[in-house]
Amino acid sequence: MNAFPLSSAQISSVLGRLGYFRELHAATLHKLSVGARQITVRRDEAVFSKGDQADALYVVVNGQVKIYLSLANRGEKIVALVGHGESFGIAAVWLGMPHPANAVAKSDSHLLLLDRRTLMNQARQEPFLAERLLADLSHRVMDLMRDMESCTPRSSLQRVSCFLLQHRPEAGMGSYDILLSTTKRDIAAKLNLTQETLSRAFQYLSKEGVIEVQGRLICVLDSRKLLHFNQMNCPPAGELVE
């Protein structure tokens, strides 16, 4: 892990590892790095709030940031959990609109803020960069649509099964491990479940020999059975409905 704050050369190196900045000329990366700001946010500290003007693209150097919407019942809907080497805020930056959600640090985090004006100027000058940014934005929209379609079935067991299947490294793989990057409480919120319901679903799948739960490590023992539960029209037990 690089010491923070980063030098201009280190910022260029970090940016060069992001998908849409790969293969860019070193001079372009340098221009982006010169205009970048560096901030440290503590755990539970807000990065921005819904409605704030988007003046920068955020890159997580280390730590984790939660993107979420506040609900009327004082709960929240987690939109994304962004970790090391990932970015957030691209949609609002590209459109020049306020942020549509809130962002808060899940742990002490170091962030790079790429100035919107600098980024957009470079995108106008380099069609390759504009193409990459639009492709990334399009992939995020498609992922969100798939998430909405497949992870909001009628039962909590289907939602949990879907979540576990989305982490399968390769289609058809029978067994695999998932190291959860955040708390079960956050995962439950992302799936529109209570933490208790998520725990009951894990317990049921464990009892059926589908998974083993070891803290944040989820060992999927039989992905075919998991797929079966994901495709079921009804949950096997009434208490798993939510």
pLDDT at 114: 93
In order, the DSSP letters of 168-235 are: -SSTT-S-EEEE-SS-HHHHHHHTT--HHHHHHHHHHHHHTTSEEEETTEEEES-HHHHHHHHH-SS-
Please give the backbone phi and psi of residue 195, each rounded to the nearest 5 degrees, phi first.
-65, -35
* pTM over the 0.75 mark: no
All structural domains of the chain, each given as residue ranges with its CATH number in brackets, are: 8-144 (2.60.120.10), 156-240 (1.10.10.10)
Task: Please tell me the total number of residues recorded for the chain in this structure.
Answer: 242
pLDDT at 48: 97
For residue range 51-64, what is the model confidence (pLDDT) as tens digits? 999 999 999 999 99
Task: Please state, in angstroms and rounded to a whole number, the distance separating the CA atoms of residues 202 and 180.
Answer: 13
121: buried, middle or exposed (CB in 10 Å: 19+, 13-18, 0-12)? Answer: middle
Residue ranges in the chain whose pLDDT is less than 50: 1, 233-242
- DSSP SS3 for 87: strand
For residue range 97-127, what is the model confidence (pLDDT) as tens digits? 999 999 999 999 999 999 999 999 999 998 8
Do the bridges between strand 87-88 and strand 217-220 make them parallel or antiparallel, or are there none, so unpaired?
unpaired
Task: Please state, in angstroms and rounded to a whole number, the distance separating the CA atoms of residues 62 and 60.
Answer: 5
